[in-house]
Amino acid sequence: MTFLNPLYLIALAAAAIPIILHLLNLRKTRVIEFSTLTFLKELQRSKIRKLKLKQWLLLALRTLIIIFVVLAFTRPALRSGFGFLPGTAARSSVVIVIDNSFSMLGSDEHGQLLKQARQKASELVDLLQAGDDAALILTTAPERANELTAALNAIRTEIDGVQVSYAHGNYRQAFTAASALLSGSSNFNKEVYFITDRQRTQFTFDDGNSPQQLFDANVKVYMLPVGDGDKGNTAVTAVEVKNSIFETGKPVDIAATVRNASETPLANAIVSVFLDGERVAQKTIDAAAGGTQQVEFTVLPKQSGWVPGFVELEDDGLPEDNRRYFGFHIPQTLNILLGPAGGQDSRLIGLALNPAAADPEAVKSFTVDALASGQLLSANLSRYDVVVLLGAQALSDAFMQRLSAWVRDGGSVMLFPDANGSVDAWNNTLLPHLGLPAGNGVTGSLTDDGAFVGFGKIDFDHPLFAGMFESTTPEAQPEVESPRLFYSVRLRGDENAREVIGTRAGDAFLLDAKVEKGRVLAFAVSPDLRWSDFPFKGLFLPLLNRAMFYLAAREDNAMDLLVGANTEVTVSNALAGDQLFELRGPDDSMQRIVPKALPSGLVFPIESPALPGLYTLNSGKDVLRAIAVNTDPAESDLARADEQTRRDFFARLGITRVAELAHGANVQEAVTQFRYGVELWKYMLALAILCAILEMLVARDRKPREI
């Protein structure tokens, strides 16, 4: 026997009250004998024996009344029912867990799996009686589960409204939520009914998850499987935009991964790329059974700005994972800050970045603000995509500190040494401020062009050179016309600064350094003809232009996010926090987002997008950031978990007994065989009433007969 409200057992102490009162009434009194009453003693002895028997009977009945009333409040229950106790089934608290991930859109001979799950859940609710309560938990959103309720019609309505989600389910969190609900229930029977397609990828634990003990031994867990046998499936599991530099009118390389999670080979499957809703490329692929295949595309976008796209595989039995979204940004015009302005070096850079300055109708890739040294300190760096600095002698310490903070927060800088040849401040102050190794002096002379060095090793794998050169064979190295370097700073790379171009003297001509969130490119020569003839070489103009796009490409690919996951998007402090910001979805939905203002910028919380597609964070008409939301590739593997895998999973949750119903079994018959529990509180209350009636009858005094 189990007591559902065991704390009330303390009240059994009240049963001692009648006994105490009885003992107090037994106090002995002084006896005085009357000689004339002696003949009555024999007559009264029989009556006194009857009176004592009546008193003991009343004591027992009054004590039992208190005991039975207290036991009724403690709600005693038996773990099995008896036929002679009709209508006394214990109240039940039932939690129904339904897997509603998109793998449940599959079908078998009984129809769609999700429809089967809803039918089984409805049959479970039909088994509940008045006084029972229930709750529904969906594996894709266990945190949204409602409390246990006795309104069973509301549960039926909730079950009928269950729809598939594109999110990957989390069985562990679903059972944790069920444990929290049942822990607050005082009902005797506590049951969890788990309706699942037994997908293998769901019965897993992260390495960081320690074993749990979610339920006590009284909680019964039942698993109701849907779907029979492993179903094959193919899916696009990954898409990578391989470009690091995006320019108007230039090709973009895209790689997609297709997984064949079936037992039959995939042959001549059509894979297509769509940009802005238009098919722009298509290929056919083969994939071995259980294998993956990567397919690469080169596409040519037609417009600048944010370009939405997706890779699509031809339909199969589960088309929800045959499309994977991506996005990238092609800047139309980059804002460049150039300074200090005024020398020949700044004029050459300005001409290289804006060769069509004389033609006002020409399309410009760059907008260049050339500022004198006195104007740099007050410049709003957040307005610019790239800052180009020509030396460090004219820079104040305050500006260098502000520049360093801007770079570490995501800004990009291109550095050239001072044209006059005095590079101590550039070497020993500016470079260390920006996280680069200090230069080791200079080599050559500004006045002697007879001695020079040329390019040495060039890292053609660097993104700056991607697609810049044509070669007859993939193995052949491009030929680059080397400039003559008359005077240069002796730069050296390290683990943080990558040497892109070296010199024959063993120094670095161009360094690329990632400085926290920002990036720095440093040249060893000034764009001044006394230093080198580099500005006259064919490499100068394309390298400078591509370097600007490379430095500006900090967030040019859309962020990757899984359906139902959360993330944060940080935007620079150039935006005012009181502006209106919206997250626009692929279904034209708009959600107002209020950012948090932090020193690093405005932080926008992105919470649980429900649909796959390309989302954009907007401020009015301006798109601040794009987010590619896709399904979890783990959901595309439809293989069933074997019995040992399922047993190990439940053991990690502390669930040692799981009753698994046979696939296709009658739910009501199977559950009726498993259910148990009889509460006895009604009988305790009836016994208390019966004892009270007997006490009244026994205690009633009969009227004496009149003589």
2-39 pLDDT, tens per residue?
676 777 778 778 777 777 776 766 555 555 555 555 55
The mean per-residue pLDDT over the stretch 464-482 comes to: 77
- Which tokens belong to 145? 């589960």
Enumerate helices (H) and strands (E) in the chain, giving the number of each: 14, 35
- The span from the CA of 325 to the CA of 342, in Å, is 47
- For 530-541, write each residue's pLDDT tens digit: 999 999 999 999
The CATH class of the 334-470+478-552 domain is alpha beta
What pLDDT was estimated at residue 705?
Answer: 47
What pLDDT was estimated at residue 84?
Answer: 46
What pLDDT was estimated at residue 707?
Answer: 43
The segment(s) of the chain belonging to CATH 2.60.40.10 are 234-331, 559-630
Statement: residue 54 has pLDDT above 90: no
Average pLDDT, the chain: 86
**Helix residue ranges per DSSP H, 92-165:** 113-126, 152-160
What pLDDT was estimated at residue 222?
Answer: 92
Statement: residue 349 has pLDDT above 60: yes
- Which tokens belong to 495? 């683990």
What pLDDT was estimated at residue 575?
Answer: 66
- The span from the CA of 165 to the CA of 517, in Å, is 35
- Which tokens belong to 389? 């600095």
Angle between helices 667-674 and 113-126 (to 10 degrees): 50
Statement: residue 46 has pLDDT above 80: no
Statement: residue 56 has pLDDT above 60: yes
The segment(s) of the chain belonging to CATH 3.40.50.410 are 92-230+639-676
The CATH class of the 92-230+639-676 domain is alpha beta
Range with lowest mean pLDDT among 94-98, 385-389, 408-412: 408-412
CA dihedral (70, 73, 77, 81) positive or negative: positive
- Specify the pTM: 0.77
- For 623-671, write each residue's pLDDT tens digit: 999 999 999 999 998 889 999 999 999 999 998 888 888 777 777 766 7
The mean per-residue pLDDT over the stretch 162-190 comes to: 92
- Report which residue type is found at 421: G
Statement: residue 384 has pLDDT above 80: yes
Contacts 24+ apart (CB under 8 A), 150-159: 152/125, 152/128, 155/96, 155/125, 156/122, 156/125, 159/96, 159/98, 159/118, 159/121, 159/122, 159/125
Statement: residue 81 has pLDDT above 50: no
Torsions phi, psi for 360 (to 5 deg): -65, -20
What pLDDT was estimated at residue 574?
Answer: 61
What pLDDT was estimated at residue 357?
Answer: 52
The segment(s) of the chain belonging to CATH 3.40.50.880 are 334-470+478-552
What pLDDT was estimated at residue 474?
Answer: 61
What order of strands is seen across the sheet that includes strand 590-592?
A: 559-562, 622-630, 613-619, 582-584, 590-592
Angle 690-691-695 (CA atoms, 0-180°, nearest 5)? 120
The CATH class of the 559-630 domain is mainly beta
Q: Can you tell me which residue has the tokens 């690093």?
A: 600
What pLDDT was estimated at residue 83?
Answer: 45
Statement: residue 581 has pLDDT above 60: yes
With bands split at pLDDT 50, 70 and 90, how would you rate the model's confidence at 90?
confident
Statement: residue 168 has pLDDT above 80: yes
DSSP 35: G
Statement: residue 196 has pLDDT above 90: yes
For domain 234-331, the CATH superfamily is Immunoglobulins (2.60.40.10)
The mean per-residue pLDDT over the stretch 334-351 comes to: 89
**Would you list the DSSP string of 454-522?**
-EEEE-TTSGGGTTT---SSTTSPPP-PPPPBSEEE-B---SSEEEEEEETTS-EEEEEEEETTEEEEE
Which residue would you say has higher pLDDT here, 620 or 195? 195
